[in-house]
Chains A and B, each alone.
Chain A
Amino acid sequence: MPDQNAPTTTGLTTESATLAGELFGDGVGTQAGPPAVPAAGTGTAGQAAPGAHSHGGSTPTGSPAERFTSTDPDAFGVPTGREETWRFTPMKRIRPLLDGAPSDAHLTWTTDLPEGVELTSVEAGDPLLKGLPEPVDRLAALARQRCGGAAVVRVAKEAQPDRPVTLGLAGTGSDDVVWGHLVIEVGAFAQATIVLDHSGLAKYAGGVSVLVGDGAQVKLVSVQDWAPGAVHGGQYDAVVGRDATFTQVVVTLGGDLVRLVSNVQYAGPGGTAELFGVYFSDETQHQEHRLWVDHAVPNCTSNVLYKGALQGEGARTVWIGDVRIRPAATGTETYELNRNLVLTDGARADSVPNLEIETGEIVGAGHASATGRFDDEQLFYLCSRGIDAETARRLVVRGFFADVVQRIGLDALQDRLMASIDERLGALPALDDQPVEVA
């Protein structure tokens, strides 16, 4: 019977109380220096104390190096796994997506396009593609180059489609890499939800570029419900227009390896970006989510909430949350939070929040990161109402996921995802033999 408070072999911080918000102490702090090179002590949750950190906006942290971007895959070289951006990734398993062998393999598309929405494609070299944010790593550059062109979802300006745009993207089991690029262009003042629903078996390198028009409200839901063995890497970019709101909900459940890089930039003042994510890593699954929010214009807001759970030997998650507030970005308000729930021994969660502040004139900036076991206070509360420890744990874990899944706002999809999570929790042996009476 594993002691809930015993350190795991990975040296994770497993104090059960670390998920309790009120118990956050100062921990992971602000680092000066390039965002890609966290200071010592922030590399993994194992070394960094769980912490919450708020910045009143008075102490800029200096000017970090610019992030390198290019449309040329070779400009990045071939990663060895020692690079900062690749050091967490299992290189052997992602290798096909970095080798770049050309292929004609495709995913099977099932689309539901409401009125006011069109799906077309553009050739490589189209002016639309030239204006997009550039790839930040070799994988993303290869995806863009090899797929030659892009699929384009267009939501007309001021359109308010009566239902979500749904793109079911299913792997066919081909061993060849599928290279893909999707551009989502939402006109000014439109309101739309776009669901990317990934399933099946594939090796998929897919970029997604979202252009959010001025005043538009866009929600992008990306579900990674891949079959076992699938490998998925990709760069998601959002360019948020003036006074626009972009909400992204990433749900990563399946696949062998998923590595998503989500970047946000603002095209005008007054923009809001909400980045939600939930992931559930089982035995041997690697799930990596890297975020980069670049505040370069005034009065924009970003809010990041990613929650993950891990169970089983070799379950592995990585969350990197970089937020940069440039000198021009006065009036910025940003908060990012990552919580990881380690359900069994032998799993490892890395969590690296990183905030770069280059102006003192902001509304607020904070980040928090916590990795641990169950919250004993929550379990006690439920048990004190007669609910047995096993059921209480299930409720807490289920609630942990539901907290983020609820943000999708689509009942049928939420129910499907929660059912899939329930099923996997049902196979959780350690739930049965962890006592609630722990100090």
Chain B
Amino acid sequence: MSVLEIRDLHVSVGEGDDAKEILRGVDLTVRSGETHAIMGPNGSGKSTLAYSIAGHPKYTITGGSVTLDGEDVLEMSVDERARAGLFLAMQYPVEVPGVSVSNFLRTAATAIKGEAPKLRTWVKDVKTEMSGLEMDPAFAERNVNEGFSGGEKKRHEILQMRLLKPAIAILDETDSGLDVDALRVVSEGVNKSREDSDVGVLLITHYTRILKYIKPDFVHVFVAGKVVDEGGPELAAKLEDEGYAAYVKGAPEVASA
């Protein structure tokens, strides 16, 4: 049983005079087995929230706290956070030239598990998960994210989630840029993890489309750097019909985004 608690989180980007506050007091609790959808317009700070939890160096935490089972996440290095059980499927996965997917996955699994996985079971696990995500086995020999299509990148992110088995997974717009087929495959991967583990999911999205495949327990509306409304799945249906207009009025700088 894990619990990720975000309390009054304030985050800015930029240095000195260029510093700009993006997150303005975020409160959120994600427990094992729960799926939370965070929905908000472009530029509202959703990725900033995801990256801040993962520890991206670009973001400065100016206030508040993030804990995982009571442990101070903000004190941890990026890799410690991952080893503590956090996982971020990135909106824009990074190319790493010259590093093969198979080498990368095995290095990551070794780091997370604390020892190298047994070669035979590992190879089988990777194959199984790849076929579940309808990925060509040749994929494993390609360089990480290099020349991947948008859909391939997202499958690769979910492949990592499947193999690394995090306690809490943050999926940042895993749905964007996917065609219906890929969206279904990727969603099935996420749902499989929800079934065969106790993973808590923080599903960040701009559209309601993915929520047809991955049913959230909670929906949070995110505007101008904070949660402005919360509810159950019915809130997603309302957003589907009405969009963000009602929430965005008070935040004119986001309205144009």
> In the complex, what residues of A have CB within 8 A of residue B79's CB?
383-389, 392, 436
Say yes or no: A402-B94 contact (C-beta < 8 A), given A376-B57, A380-B57, A437-B78. Answer: no
Nearest CB on A from B156, distance (A): 11
> In the complex, what residues of A have CB within 8 A of residue B94's CB?
377-378, 380-381
B123 close to chain A: CB less than 8 A: no
CB contact between A382 and one of B87, B98, B104, B143 (< 8 Å): that residue: B104
> In the complex, what residues of A have CB within 8 A of residue B57's CB?
376, 380, 436-439
B82 close to chain A: CB less than 8 A: yes
How far apart sit A382 and B56, CA to CA, in the bound complex (Å)? 12
- Per-residue interface assignment for chain B, residues 73 to 108, with 1 indicating a CB less than 8 Å from any chain A CB and 0 otherwise: 000011101110001101001111111000110011
CB contact between A436 and one of B54, B58, B77, B143 (< 8 Å): that residue: B77
B193 close to chain A: CB less than 8 A: no
Say yes or no: A378-B96 contact (C-beta < 8 A), given A385-B160, A386-B164, A436-B77. Answer: yes
How far apart sit A378 and B77, CA to CA, in the bound complex (Å)? 15
Nearest CB on A from B68, distance (A): 14
A406 in contact with B78 (CB, 8 Å) = no
Task: Name the residue in B98, B143, B144 with the highest tally of chain A Cβ atoms < 10 Å from its Cβ.
Answer: B98
Q: Which residues A238-294 have CB closer than 8 A to chain B?
A: none
A58 close to chain B: CB less than 8 A: no
Q: Which residues A384-398 have CB closer than 8 A to chain B?
A: 384-389, 391-392, 395-396, 398
Nearest CB on A from B213, distance (A): 25
A400 close to chain B: CB less than 8 A: yes
- Per-residue interface assignment for chain B, residues 41 to 70, with 1 indicating a CB less than 8 Å from any chain A CB and 0 otherwise: 000000000000011111010000000000
Nearest CB on B from A15, distance (A): 13
A382 in contact with B112 (CB, 8 Å) = no
B54 in contact with A398 (CB, 8 Å) = no
Task: Name the residue in A381, A405, A436 with the highest tally of chain B Cβ atoms < 10 Å from its Cβ.
Answer: A381
A403 in contact with B82 (CB, 8 Å) = no
> In the complex, what residues of A have CB within 8 A of residue B58's CB?
439
> In the complex, what residues of A have CB within 8 A of residue B88's CB?
384
B15 close to chain A: CB less than 8 A: yes
CB contact between A399 and one of B82, B90, B97 (< 8 Å): that residue: B97
B111 close to chain A: CB less than 8 A: yes
How far apart sit A398 and B96, CA to CA, in the bound complex (Å)? 10
> In the complex, what residues of B have CB within 8 A of residue A392's CB?
79
Q: Which residues A33-59 have CB closer than 8 A to chain B?
A: none
How far apart sit A400 and B144, CA to CA, in the bound complex (Å)? 12
> In the complex, what residues of B have CB within 8 A of residue A405's CB?
98
Nearest CB on A from B32, distance (A): 19
Nearest CB on B from A293, distance (A): 23
The count of residues in chain B whose C-beta lies closer than 8 Å to any C-beta of chain A is 33
Nearest CB on B from A48, distance (A): 23
Nearest CB on A from B202, distance (A): 15
> In the complex, what residues of B have CB within 8 A of residue A391's CB?
107, 111
B99 in contact with A385 (CB, 8 Å) = no
> In the complex, what residues of A have CB within 8 A of residue B81's CB?
384
> In the complex, what residues of A have CB within 8 A of residue B96's CB?
378, 381-382, 395-396, 399
- Per-residue interface assignment for chain A, residues 96 to 111, with 1 indicating a CB less than 8 Å from any chain B CB and 0 otherwise: 0000000000000000
B99 in contact with A396 (CB, 8 Å) = yes
How far apart sit A384 and B98, CA to CA, in the bound complex (Å)? 19
B111 in contact with A402 (CB, 8 Å) = no
Nearest CB on A from B88, distance (A): 6
How far apart sit A424 and B104, CA to CA, in the bound complex (Å)? 21
A385 in contact with B111 (CB, 8 Å) = yes
A319 close to chain B: CB less than 8 A: no
A381 in contact with B90 (CB, 8 Å) = yes
Output the nearest chain A residue to B114 by Cβ-Cβ distance: A386
Say yes or no: A402-B104 contact (C-beta < 8 A), given A384-B54, A439-B58. Answer: no
Say yes or no: A400-B108 contact (C-beta < 8 A), given A388-B79, A439-B15, A439-B58. Answer: no
Nearest CB on A from B87, distance (A): 8
- Per-residue interface assignment for chain B, residues 120 to 144, with 1 indicating a CB less than 8 Å from any chain A CB and 0 otherwise: 0000000000000000000000011
How far apart sit A384 and B166, CA to CA, in the bound complex (Å)? 12
B107 in contact with A380 (CB, 8 Å) = no
Output the nearest chain A residue to B105 by Cβ-Cβ distance: A385
How far apart sit A437 and B59, CA to CA, in the bound complex (Å)? 10
A401 close to chain B: CB less than 8 A: yes
CB contact between B104 and one of A395, A401, A403 (< 8 Å): that residue: A395
B143 in contact with A403 (CB, 8 Å) = yes
How far apart sit A280 and B97, CA to CA, in the bound complex (Å)? 17
How far apart sit A39 and B103, CA to CA, in the bound complex (Å)? 44
How far apart sit A376 and B57, CA to CA, in the bound complex (Å)? 8
B111 in contact with A381 (CB, 8 Å) = no
Say yes or no: A384-B107 contact (C-beta < 8 A), given A398-B98, A399-B143. Answer: no
> In the complex, what residues of B have CB within 8 A of residue A378's CB?
94-96
A386 in contact with B77 (CB, 8 Å) = no
Nearest CB on B from A419, distance (A): 15
How far apart sit A423 and B1, CA to CA, in the bound complex (Å)? 44
> In the complex, what residues of B have CB within 8 A of residue A436's CB?
57, 77-79
How far apart sit A433 and B87, CA to CA, in the bound complex (Å)? 26
B111 in contact with A401 (CB, 8 Å) = no
CB contact between B82 and one of A383, A401, A402 (< 8 Å): that residue: A383
B98 in contact with A383 (CB, 8 Å) = no
> In the complex, what residues of B have CB within 8 A of residue A387's CB?
79, 82, 107-108, 111
How far apart sit A378 and B87, CA to CA, in the bound complex (Å)? 16
> In the complex, what residues of B have CB within 8 A of residue A398's CB?
98-99
Nearest CB on A from B81, distance (A): 8
How far apart sit A400 and B97, CA to CA, in the bound complex (Å)? 6
Output the nearest chain B residue to A418 by Cβ-Cβ distance: B98
B83 in contact with A399 (CB, 8 Å) = no
Q: Which residues of A contact B (CB under 8 A)?
A: 376-378, 380-389, 391-392, 395-396, 398-403, 405-406, 436-439
> What are 17 inter-chain pairs, A to B, with CB distance below 8 A?
A378-B96, A380-B56, A381-B90, A381-B96, A382-B108, A386-B83, A387-B108, A388-B111, A391-B111, A395-B104, A399-B97, A402-B97, A402-B98, A403-B143, A436-B77, A436-B78, A438-B57
Other 11 A-B pairs with CB < 8 A, given A388-B79, A399-B99: A378-B95, A380-B94, A381-B93, A384-B54, A385-B87, A386-B79, A386-B164, A403-B98, A405-B98, A436-B77, A438-B57
